[in-house]
Structure 1
Amino acid sequence: MAAARDLVLGVDVGTGSSKGVLTTLDGRVVARASRGPQPGTRRTTTPRPGYVEHDADAVWWDDFCAIARELTHRAADPDDVAAGRVVAVGTSGIGPTVLLADAHGRPLRPAILYGVDTRSVAEATDLEERYGADDLLRRCGSRMSTQAAGGKLEWLRRHEPDVFARARYFFMSNSYLAFRLTGEYVLDQHSASQSTPLYDRHEAAWIEDRCEEIAKGLPMPRLAWPSERVGAVSAQAAEVTGIPVGTPVAAGTCDAWAEAESVDVGQPGDLMVMYGSTTFFIAVTDGPRFHPSLWGTAGVRPGQSTLAAGMASSGSAVEWWRETIGSPAVGDLVAEAAAAPPGANGLIALPYFAGERTPFADADARGALLGLTLRTTRGEVDRALLEATAFGVRHNIDEIRAAGVDIRRVVAVGGGTGSALWPQIVTDVTGLRQELPAERIGACLGDAKFAAVALGAVGVDEAWNSVESATEPDPEAAEVYAGLYPAYRRLHEATADLQHRLSELERRTRT
């Protein structure tokens, strides 16, 4: 009988669904699994406006267990193409999140999610005044926002003091999974760097006096890099997951950074552009870089630094249009948009349908369409919205370059790469060639790499995903967009005050 091949398990827990893979030690995917909302349950809860929460056991842990059982069952079947033995585990998840747990590691309340939960506005403002915007930017990498875990902890201390007093653990999604698997209390360096104002980017360590001020009595987790082995699967965890007892577990990290690792975005000058409902950017930098409009964080490889950015809406704005007109076939509308010329016959849009995050933080920014005529077609509107997202990408890239980043390689990921049109428009607007990887399953593939590195099977710098194709700039389209980009910027500047007035009207009148 042939010896069972070694496999690694990667699982990513998401806001709306979770995914997992089994791969060989060189990154070849042999099995996939996913888990979405369960019948009769609400995966994400919003108990009050601005509050967005997850039940850590019912969502994070149950998703992980279900995916792990499915994939380990397949690995144990000698007749399955995924047959083998699981020898290491890596995880990632939504972040930064804040989950408080008692002395036994049991959650005391639902987890507060990342920047979509905006309850900590006042706390973020107060903490920025206390420590100073420049100090936060230079020492922590980012200014305060509702994204930062430190502000969420401050909110809990102020508003739920009884819960806070009982807390002995502070988890994010991947660190809670690591704890349930191994019993170890650990957080990866990248996720910790999203805990402004509690983490020092230069020292790669907690700022002890600030932790004492904001999280008095709450021990901070020990820090590790995402691909470090932090423990082994316990007998209790093995029973509910199917993963063998003693299997090494990597620390893991936040989902977007795991996805960057899944497509080998790891060298200074590499940039990942994630196409989805929102657009997200991760640029690997040559040491800590700071910019008031961007998020400076630790990377996922030891000593690595990144700058990140994120648009509030992009694919979601296009999807709004497609749902509004009731297009019977998305493919038909994409074809109509592709048939329209660059510039959509004089139609230009702003993509701020959900405000904006970067390169300017403005929750009251709003979308716009300028240049409508009686001859405007639905395909032209669709193209104008895609072009608006591309102009937003260029705006963010301009800021990344202003921070001193020399962008040398761009990799496109996410569901929006399923059609060639959107990435091509972005390439024509930015002038940047984009590589599209062969495997686009997402963060769970990066988690599998973390597991393989933790095992010592591969080096952290080794390639994990091949390039399938690339987009190249079209000179004629690029010339059109070079003329339109300044108009896009001026349209926002000229209407910003009006956008805010309309946003206020919406708040007063919408029920």
Structure 2
Amino acid sequence: MFLGIDIGTSGVKAVVLDEAGAVAGQGTAPLTVQRPQPRWSEQDPEAWWHATTAAVLTIDPTVRRLIRGVGLAGQMHGATLLGADDRPLRPAILWNDGRSDRECLELETSIPSLREITGNIAMPGFTAPKLLWVRKNEPDVFKQVRTVLLPKDYVRLRMTGGKASDLSDASGTLWVDVAARRWSDTVLAATDLDERAVPRLFEGTEQTGTLRPDVAEQWGIPAVPVAAGGGDNAAGAAGVGVVRPGNALLSLGTSGVIFVATDQFRPNPARAVHAFCHCLPQLWHQMSVHLSAASCIDWAARLTGASGAAELFARAETAGPGNRGEIFLPYLSGERTPHNDARVRGAFLGLDNDTDPATLSQAVLEGVAFALADGLDALRDAGTSIDRLSVIGGGARSGYWGRIIAAAFEVPLVYLQGGEVGPALGAARLAQLAVEGGAPVDICVAPPIARQIDPEPLLIERLAPRRAAFRDAYPRITPKKEL
């Protein structure tokens, strides 16, 4: 048995796979996000640790005793600042935090080669500009910083006592020379740090230590090896077999991501496309990232009084696609691809006296689909060809939403058995590779296809004018940047 743990934004998920790749047990525990000021997004690192333990202990004890390795996945970019005693100095600043836009400009100005080194445009969600913000606004905290860890790597520290990260997750800090697969001294120095402040880098399939005896005893697991693992999207890709160049997936989690595996470093920062290392050796990937995807569904359900996502999807289906004039701009936390705009916020447009919860729900589904389609266009502008997308994440549960997305993308969507398990599945497979070795393409295989949703020509035609209206609306809601 192999355990995969995913430190998400809304919760921690733990999944156990047997050697045949079947799910033998799983558990979850919730997390909450704190937003003490506009554009801020934070979490208490201790909450990750408590939720991780709770999720693991949900799994049957007889299954836990058979675990031979653990892999980690997690939300990317979060700045977890530790002092000399390895305790957090402040709440972690998360991936969807938008406070450091000025610091992004400072980085781009001070390092003309930044995009060449990192393959990415500086964005407030990344880790490096967050450290500049802390240096400027919380100097007493910055002076105490001895180590900066990503969320899953703080959990690793609590599990093993060691400081390590994998290259896919570390790529999202903006401190990595992505082509060379190592830390960049140049970018670290620009944030008044050096390699002493960051963990050792590993490929996702490598071992980074073993469970501490006290943790193993608490969890009812042997003191097994812990794999480096991956950032949530890279681990999710490993879980559904997106491990060959050209393989692609759509992740419908809190955020929405289109992920394409590549055999070389292929940046396109001009369109805010991410170019990172994969969690597997000798592979990279491109991503378009939309900050609010399934989170918009949960938000709209609360807004309209729906009992949950399932009721919202059902309401939307009664309204039907392309029938009304409501437009939803899903920028609840700002946006990355293709706009790189931390200040923009969501909006409903075209409301009238006949607007009701059903038509609002339909507008939300369409708005997220259109925003994701903008990201797909940015990938295509980078020369990437995508002929189908594997779908993972909680949003994969709705076939009706899949019809809308397939029509907006004009690309078939493939739904895989167990795809909703997400990054924890890939983390468990990385643990298996770390313990047993072998070729990633033999271990990280695609699950059986549950269904495929092909683009419907009539639906494409009905949504086309609405997508054009969506794209025209973005400039109308964009605040002036005051940097």
TM (normalized to structure 2)? 0.89
Paired amino acid for 1:189: L
Give the 3 Å change call, closer, same or farther, for CA 352–70 of structure 1 in structure 2: closer
- Counterpart pick for 2:378 among 387, 394, 399: 399
C-alpha distance in structure 2 between counterparts of 1:47 and 1:345, whole Å: 37
Query: Partners of 1:161 and 1:151 in 2: how far apart?
Result: 14
Say which of 17, 24, 35 aligns to 2:11.
17
Q: Does the Cα contact within 8 Å between 1:91 and 1:250 map onto a contact in 2?
A: yes
> Is 1:282 matched with 2:259?
yes
- Other-structure match for 1:273: 250
Is 380-389 or 348-357 further displaced after alignment? 348-357
Q: Percent identity?
A: 27
Matched residue SS, 1:421: helix
> Residue 368 of structure 1 aligns with which residue?
348
> Which residue of structure 1 lines up, in the alignment, with residue 455 of structure 2?
473
Q: Is 1:67 aligned to 2:48, yes or no?
A: no
Change over 3 Å in CA distance of 1:366–1:64 after alignment to 2: closer
* Partner Cα distance (1:252, 1:329) in 2: 32
SS in structure 2 opposite 1:20?
strand
Moved more, 388-397 or 422-431: 388-397
- Which string of whole-angstrom CA distances, capped at 9 and with x for unpartnered residues, describes residues 402-446 of structure 1? 011111330112222222110111112221111111102122111
Which of 469, 472, 479 is the equivalent residue of 1:487?
469
Cα distance 1:95–1:85, how it changes in 2: closer, same or farther (>3 A)? same
Of 437, 441, 444, 2:424 maps to: 444
Question: What residue in structure 2 maps to residue 507 of structure 1?
Answer: none
Contact 1:165–1:217 (Cα < 8 Å) also in 2: no
Map Cα deviations across residues 104-126 of structure 1 (whole Å, 9 max, x no partner).
4x214134233323333332221
Work out whether 1:8 is the aligned partner of 2:12: no
User: Partners in 1 of 2:164 and 2:308 — Cα distance?
Assistant: 47
Q: Distance in 1 between matches of 2:406 and 2:179?
A: 34
The residue type equivalent to 1:90 in the other structure is G
On the 8 A contact 1:343/1:481 being kept in 2, the answer is yes
* Structure 2 equivalent of residue 296 of structure 1: 275
CA contact (8 A) 1:168 1:218 kept: no
The whole-number CA distance in structure 2 between the counterparts of 1:218 and 1:358 is 30
Partner of 1:201: 178
Structure 1 residues 340 and 209: CA distance shift in structure 2, 3 A: closer
Structure 2 residue aligned with 1:40: none
1:36–1:377 CA distance, 2 compared to 1 (3 A): closer
Once the two structures are TM-superposed, the CA of residue 399 in structure 1 deviates from its matched residue by 0.7
Name 2:102's counterpart in structure 1: 122
Any conservation in 2 of the 1:13–1:60 contact (CA below 8 Å)? Answer: yes
Q: How far did residue 454 of structure 1 move?
A: 0.5
Residue in 2 aligned with 1:54? Answer: 43
Stretches of structure 1 lacking an aligned partner (at least 5 in a row): 1-6, 38-42, 505-511
What does 1:33-112 correspond to in 2, within 5 Å? 33-37=27-31, 43-56=32-45, 58-71=46-59, 74-75=60-61, 77=62, 82=63, 85-104=66-85, 106-112=86-92
Asked whether the 8 Å contact 2:387–2:412 carries over to 1, the reply is: no
Larger Rg: 1
**Counterpart of 1:232?**
210
Q: CA shift at 1:180, angstroms?
A: 2.7
Mapped contact 2:263–2:282 kept (Cα < 8 A): no
Tell me which amino acid in the other structure corresponds to 1:466. P
2-structure distance, mates of 1:365, 1:103: 38
- C-alpha distance after superposition, 1:350-370 (max 9, x if no partner): 334444332112322542333
Q: How far apart are the structure 2 equivalents of 1:114 and 1:480?
A: 38
Q: Is the 8 A contact 1:174 1:251 kept in 2?
A: no
**How many aligned residue pairs are there?**
475
Change (3 A) 1:276 1:209: closer
CA distance in 2, matches of 1:85, 1:341: 49
- Separation of aligned partners in 2, 1:12 and 1:52: 19
Q: Tell me: CA distance 1:479–1:147, structure 2 relative to 1, closer, same or farther (3 Å).
A: same
- Is 2:358 the partner of 1:379? yes
Query: 1:50: how far off?
Result: 4.0
Where 2:157 maps in the other structure, the secondary structure is: helix
Describe the shift of the 1:482–1:93 C-alpha distance in structure 2 as closer, same or farther (beyond 3 A).
same
Say if 2:110 and 2:190, in contact at 8 Å, map to a contact too.
Answer: no
Question: 1:140-196 CA deviation, whole Å, 9 max, x = no partner?
Answer: 011112112112223334444444444433211222232333333221111221121
In the alignment, which residue of structure 2 is the partner of 1:4? none
Residue 256 (structure 1) aligns with: 233
